[in-house]
Amino acid sequence: MPGPMGNSLGGTPRMGAVLGPGRPQRASRADRHQLEVRPLDLRRVTRLFTPHKPALSVVTVAIVITSIVGMAQPFFIRAIVDQAIPHQDVTLLLWCVGGMLGVTVVSQLLGVLQTWLATGVGQRVMHRLRTDLFDTVQRQSLGFFTRTRAGEVQSRLTNDVAGMQSVVTDTATSIASNVTTLIATIVAMSALSWRLTLLSAIILPPAIWLTRRVALMRREITTRQQERLAELQSQINDGLSVSGVLLSKTLGLGPQQSAHFAEGSRGLVDLELESQLAGRWRMATMQIIFAAIPAAIYLVAGLPATSGGMTIGTLIAFSTLQAGIFRPLMGVLNTGAQLITAGALFSRVFEFLDLDDALPVSAQPVPLDPATARGELRVDHVSYTYPGAERPAVDDLTVAVPPGGSLALVGATGSGKSTAASLLSRLMDPTEGRILLDGVDLRDLDPQQLTHLVGVVTQETYLVHDSIRANLLLAKPDATDAELWDALGAAQIADHIAALPDGLSTRVGERGYRFSGGEKQRIAVARTILRDPVVLILDEATSALDNETERALQEAIDRLSRGRTTVTIAHRLSTIEDADEVLVLDHGRTVERGTHEGLLGAGGVYATLARRAQARQEAAA
């Protein structure tokens, strides 16, 4: 055959069209499991796109027109080969060539329009989901974050939402395009030659089945390879880290770990051989298939009994259509896997969007002006049980702290002190009972207003990766530099900051790594001073510090506490000697209460804790 025939029937379509987006797909077990555990309500997905109906309608029309217009190309080719060239019909030749160019121009312009509209819709839907998900997670209690891996939350916000964007902009349009293109191609092939269309219908299904089987076999091997590589990487990370090497040498695990690593490495050898052979078989199978299909078409078209008077132009046009049918056909066959993957993404995101609002906002919050609030704190029969726990972490806690008074909560590890602190700052809500500030239930206050009323300084200080100034302005965005220096001075760290080359502009580093623990704590105290809360919660703010650093920080905290209602969660009993009242907790219940001196004299649990603390200090000295 001459050049055009050779181009159309070269025996093998572009392999990229087969090995690229049209490759066989299989939904992962994780996706199937997600939909089994949490079925997807399609009406909910539809509602996301309801505001974008006009744009989606235009996209759909553009896809249909593009698919139909694209089918004109083979007919122009037939007219050129059968009529224009043999009869030297220049006019027809110009019309056909112009038509071919016009089809390409129209298809590309529609493609640009389709991409613009689909991407715009996808981005707006993703923006809505991303912001709704972020807001929902932010409203969760502290307990949610303690029992949920941070990586999982981040994955929902980034990976899953990004994956859904691909679903909206690529998968949905790809399915629509593949279906319309497949239908249009079959109609066009039937119009050109029903005999060759029937032949294609007979030989394509087994060819596609064999191709998919080999491809899925290789995909399974690849998955096993990835799992084995992940295991080896884990062994390397664990076994060759400083901690891992220390463990290995002290327990004599070296030979055992080497044997385990060698076994995993040998498994990779076998898997690589399987993968390469499966890949070679796949390529060989496809080459045979795509050589056999045009050969069969040539045979049928060339035999007098089956040709039906077929022209060369018709044969070229049909071959062009037939060579391009594989890609949309594979795309349609992959639709099931694509829909399962898409459904699983929506299901995972909706799962987080449907989280109960653990810290609900009152429909009519009670106003409580921080400037006039007195700071009277009352805990009324409060209990809290963590989800899944058998017993409460705080059990029937009742105490009152007058305005400007001080309360200390002490106890052994696990006694419920930090849980009580979280309840007092409404990081969680009580399972039973209520906490009142100036007679108002914390649940009836506006959450933003509550952050101005109750300040918290914890042992683990968090500083954002920005300047010292930016970290302080989080508490009071309109504060002047003079106010910032006053707060740092009150926190006993102004001199240290002033000695830095960049002063307030000094970047604190990731999680404040540039500063020591005590310095970070004092910056946090300065931040709380700027916030100027009426109630102050100190959750073991001075623990895990050396004596000198503790003294400097304690002096800063003493200044911060003046005139404020203060609740101190104490690890070192020396920090609460001046508290108005001390509560001793054990397994969430109050077992002793009184002043520091009174409890020491009683010789009970508090006195035992004090003796142990004194013994630890003497041993450390």
Whether residue 118 is predicted with pLDDT greater than 60 in this model: the reply is yes
pLDDT value, residue 215: 65
pLDDT value, residue 14: 38
- Write out pLDDT tens, residues 543-598: 545 566 666 666 767 777 777 888 888 766 767 778 889 999 988 899 999 888 88
**Whole-number percent of the chain with pLDDT over 90:** 7
* Cβ contacts of 545-553, under 8 Å, gap ≥ 24: 545/517, 545/518, 545/521, 546/518, 549/516, 549/517, 549/518, 550/518, 552/492, 552/518, 552/522, 553/492, 553/518, 553/521, 553/522, 553/525
Give the residue-averaged pLDDT of 462-488: 87
Rounded distance between C-alpha atoms, residue 495 and residue 479, angstroms: 19
Ranges of each domain in the chain:
28-193+328-355, 205-309, 377-620
Whether residue 9 is predicted with pLDDT greater than 50 in this model: the reply is no
Whether residue 383 is predicted with pLDDT greater than 90 in this model: the reply is yes
- Write out pLDDT tens, residues 245-298: 777 777 777 788 788 778 877 777 777 777 667 656 666 766 776 677 777 777
pLDDT value, residue 379: 92
- Write out pLDDT tens, residues 298-317: 777 777 756 666 778 878 88
**Whole-number percent of the chain with pLDDT over 70:** 79
pLDDT value, residue 378: 93
Give the residue-averaged pLDDT of 201-216: 70
Q: What is the DSSP letter of 498?
A: H
Cα dihedral 64, 65, 68, 73 sign: negative
**Distance, CA of 261 to chain centre:** 32
Whether residue 73 is predicted with pLDDT greater than 50 in this model: the reply is yes
pLDDT value, residue 381: 92
Using 50, 70 and 90 to split pLDDT, how confident is the model at 398? very high
Using 50, 70 and 90 to split pLDDT, how confident is the model at 399? very high
Give CA separation, 40 vs 44, 128, 161, 175, in Å: 8, 19, 16, 19
User: Given 3.40.50.300, 1.10.600.10, 1.20.1560.10, 1.10.1060.10, which CATH number is that of 28-193+328-355?
Assistant: 1.20.1560.10
Q: What is the mean pLDDT of the chain?
A: 78
CB atoms under 10 Å from CB of 150, counted, come to 8
Q: Which residue has the tokens 């106010």?
A: 483
Q: What's domain 377-620's architecture?
A: 3-Layer(aba) Sandwich (3.40)
More confidently predicted of 411 and 165: 411
Whether residue 336 is predicted with pLDDT greater than 70 in this model: the reply is no
